Amino acid sequence: MHQATTKTKSGPSEATSQENINPWERAKRQLARAAKRLKLPSLLSARLANPDRVVEVSIPIHMDDGTVRTFEGLRVQHNRARGPYKGGLRYHPKVDLDEVKALAFWMSIKNAIIDVPFGGGKGGVRVDPKQLTERELERLTREFARKLAPVIGPTVDVPAPDVNTNPKIMGWFADEYSKILGTPTPAVVTGKPLEKGGSEGRAEATGLGGCFALTTMLEKMGKNPRGMTVAIQGFGNVGSFLAEYLQQAGFNVVAVSDSKGGLYIPTGIGSVKEVLRCKERLGHLAGCYCVGSVCDISNKEKLGAREITADEALTLPVDIVVPAALENALTAPLARAVRAKIVLEMANGPTTSEAEKILNERGVTIIPDILANAGGVAVSYFEWKQNRDKTRWEKDEVLRRLEGKMKKSASDVYESSKRRNVSLREAAYLIAVERIAKAAQSE
């Protein structure tokens, strides 16, 4: 339960095919808007509109049957004006340079918003890890670490888990890098298992961080979260922890969905732990109608519950909807059907540009991904700092520091949006680009 397991990634749905979904183009437009408004010098704009470095490596390994296969790996280092490049490594057959460039850029932005001393990076290997045995996956990771070793390091570039990579893979990566240096160097990656220098609180960090971002925004807007209804698309690591923390904060989570569909219970889904247990037992969410610890289809009528499709979670009559699954999940047709007044973006890049325009015109507030899901990288920073200082923080301390970072950042973004009369996303970009520019100018 709540394990940070491997993650899946699928392409955008057909509905998005007419929309501009090239993430790097979208990222550059976002940057250009902020640069224009901040009157950034053109040299600086050009530096931010291109990654510092793109590293392509080949990764030949022995497969278990004795044959040799060669995989391609990538690392994009966007900007390090504020500190070492920082961002995940994904293992996916469709790892694409433009997408990785955009994700590296968004990491620079995210790290600046939550004010951790990192720049942005991202990388990956073109591979379907489900086709590899564990030993092949380990050989692939260790060879990838050897190939990247000359361009990474605790003060240069610090990778982390992303789609289809996990703490175990980060443990192999750190171990291989340490062998090359001849000294234990856990701070070369974050998201490691606890026993290999990982941090307490990393698993729940993104979901809990999203809860802090939302409650801070609502407080600023003068709204009381108690009883506000929430529907969440995506019930993996992020969605399930978020659901649990939202309930604790007084929200009523009435719907959750995953890749196989979901459930809507107008009075609330009940205990998140019980729903997760039921999903594990049944293999899907449908039928997980929980009353206390009894989750059964027989409760359906009593609860007025019904099954929903994965997308329907975004268009239910609720106060807040949360895309917490995939990029480009919230498309223009769905945006027209959204009935909530607030969208909390927990996935990376879940709203297409066209959908965002529609939501803005309809007066829907979007709490942007670069703020809402920054809790994960905040705790990655805490992990790196603990490794560097050769110390360990208790979970309470990690979560207390996370709360401080998220509340301060959400508050900064809200105040800036009011002062500049711009959307929360634009305000977040302005804060981030201004901070990066300031650091770059003093370089």
Q: Which is nearer to ligand NAD, 186 or 376 (CB)?
A: 376
Shortest distance in whole angstroms from residue 207 CB to ligand NAD:
8
List binders of ligand NAD among 222-281 (CB under 6 A).
Answer: 233-239, 257-259
CA gap 33, 426 in Å, rounded? 8
Shortest distance in whole angstroms from residue 259 CB to ligand NAD:
4
List binders of ligand NAD among 323-382 (CB under 6 A).
Answer: 324-326, 346-348, 373, 376
The crossing angle, in degrees rounded to 10, of helices 424-441 and 97-113 is 90
Any contact of residue 8 with ligand NAD (CB under 6 A)?
yes
Shortest distance in whole angstroms from residue 111 CB to ligand NAD:
12
User: Within 10 Å of residue 292's Cβ, how many Cβ atoms?
Assistant: 9
As a three-state string, the secondary structure of 246-292 is HHHCCCEEEEEEECCEEEECCCCCCCHHHHHHHHHHHCCCCCCCEEC
Shortest distance in whole angstroms from residue 258 CB to ligand NAD:
3
CA gap 337, 428 in Å, rounded? 26
Any contact of residue 27 with ligand NAD (CB under 6 A)?
no
Shortest distance in whole angstroms from residue 393 CB to ligand NAD:
18
Residue 214, Cβ density class (10 Å: 0-12 exposed, 13-18 middle, ≥19 buried): buried
**Coil, strand, or helix at residue 321?**
strand
Shortest distance in whole angstroms from residue 135 CB to ligand NAD:
23
Query: Please, what's the largest Cα pairwise distance for the chain?
Result: 65
Q: Which is nearer to ligand NAD, 178 or 271 (CB)?
A: 271
- Note whether 402 and 208 are within 8 A (CB): yes
Q: Please identify which of the residues 28, 101, 122, 405 carries the catalytic annotation.
A: 122
- Site track for ligand NAD across 169-198, x = CB under 6 A: ------------------------------
- Site track for ligand NAD across 139-168, x = CB under 6 A: ------------------------------
CB-nearest residue to ligand NAD: 236
**Token duo for residue 128:** 């379907």
**Token duo for residue 16:** 């998005």
C-alpha pair distances (Å), 193 with each of 53, 122, 299: 29, 20, 39
What values do phi and psi take at 412, rounded to 5? -60, -45
Which secondary-structure segment (H or E) carries 341?
none
What values do phi and psi take at 87, rounded to 5? 165, 170
Q: Which is nearer to ligand NAD, 217 or 374 (CB)?
A: 374
Task: Name the nearest CA neighbour of 423 among 409, 433, 413.
Answer: 413
The region of 40-48, 60-68, 322-330, 418-426 touching ligand NAD under the rule CB under 6 A is 322-330
Torsion angle, CA of 339/309/348/224, rounded to 10 degrees?
Answer: 40
36 carries an active-site annotation: no
Q: Which residue type occupies 214?
A: L
Any contact of residue 199 with ligand NAD (CB under 6 A)?
no
Q: Which is nearer to ligand NAD, 16 or 30 (CB)?
A: 16
Shortest distance in whole angstroms from residue 310 CB to ligand NAD:
3
Given the DSSP bridges, would you call strands 252-258 and 261-264 parallel, antiparallel or unpaired?
A: antiparallel
Q: Which is nearer to ligand NAD, 4 or 437 (CB)?
A: 4
The region of 4-12, 56-64, 291-299, 357-365 touching ligand NAD under the rule CB under 6 A is 4-12
The region of 143-151, 299-307, 321-329, 424-432 touching ligand NAD under the rule CB under 6 A is 321-329
> Which residues of the chain form contacts with ligand NAD (CB under 6 A)?
7-8, 10, 206, 233-239, 257-259, 310, 324-326, 346-348, 373, 376
Q: What are the residue numbers of the active site? A: 122
